[in-house]
Every structure is written in structure tokens, then in C-alpha cells.
Copies of this chain bind each other. A is one copy, B any other.
Amino acid sequence: METKTVVTALAALAQDSRLAIFRALVQAGPAGLAAGRISELTGIAPSSLSFHLKELSHAEMVSSQQAGRFVIYTANFSTMNALLGFLTENCCGGNPCSPVCTPACSTEKEPS
């Protein structure tokens, strides 16, 4: 993972609303959540939510797919794990560090 990508991913998570969104999606698992449901769960206004989801998408922290009238968002576990990998290697190097989930959390589909 390049540092530019890492900074983008970190910045995506380094914000109250977006961390809340991402956590909700992680909890929801591979099934994901519709945008409106995320709005309900987090109390973020739709237009603001759209803005943040776009940020998270751009950072490839979440994926989305249209389902009828709904847009379903899912946490992108592979990016999350790559980020964790980078942080563990580069920011924990040569020091005692905690166990990390290596591949784990595989999503059903991988839109690329």
C-alpha cells in the first residue's frame, strides 16, 4: 500500500461521522446497509451522508451497489486489512505489537 493511499484511507476514517458510518457498515457485515438506513442509525442528514459516503468510496473503504431504489453500502474489508497491515509494518516495526486480523472478514463479492 502506497503512503498516498494510506493517507487517503486514514483521512477517510479520521472524522466522527465517517468513523460512525464505517463502524455501522462493519457491524452490518457483508450484507451492508442502504444509505437511508445509515442515515437513521447515525443521525446524519442525507446530503451530508452522501458527501461522506463519497469520501469513503473514494478511499475504497466502502463499496456500493444499486438495489432497486436503494443503494447498498458495504465495508471494504480488504482495504481495511491492507491499512492495518501497513500500520503494523511501518508504524510498529521492530517493536512488540499486538495481534492483527490478517485476511479475515472476506466479503462475498469483490467489485473491481
Contacts and interface: CB of A to CB of B under 8 A. Distances in A.
Contacts of A3: 16, 19-20
> Quick one: copies of this chain in the complex?
2
B104 A26 contact: no
B105 A102 contact: no
Contacts of A83: 87
A23 to B, nearest CB: 6
Interface of A: 3-4, 6-7, 10-11, 13-16, 19-20, 22-23, 26-31, 75, 77, 80-81, 83-85, 87-107, 109, 112
25 contacts: A4-B16, A11-B14, A22-B91, A23-B91, A27-B95, A29-B94, A29-B97, A75-B91, A81-B98, A84-B100, A87-B87, A88-B99, A88-B104, A88-B105, A89-B112, A91-B104, A91-B105, A92-B101, A93-B109, A96-B107, A100-B102, A101-B101, A101-B102, A101-B104, A102-B102
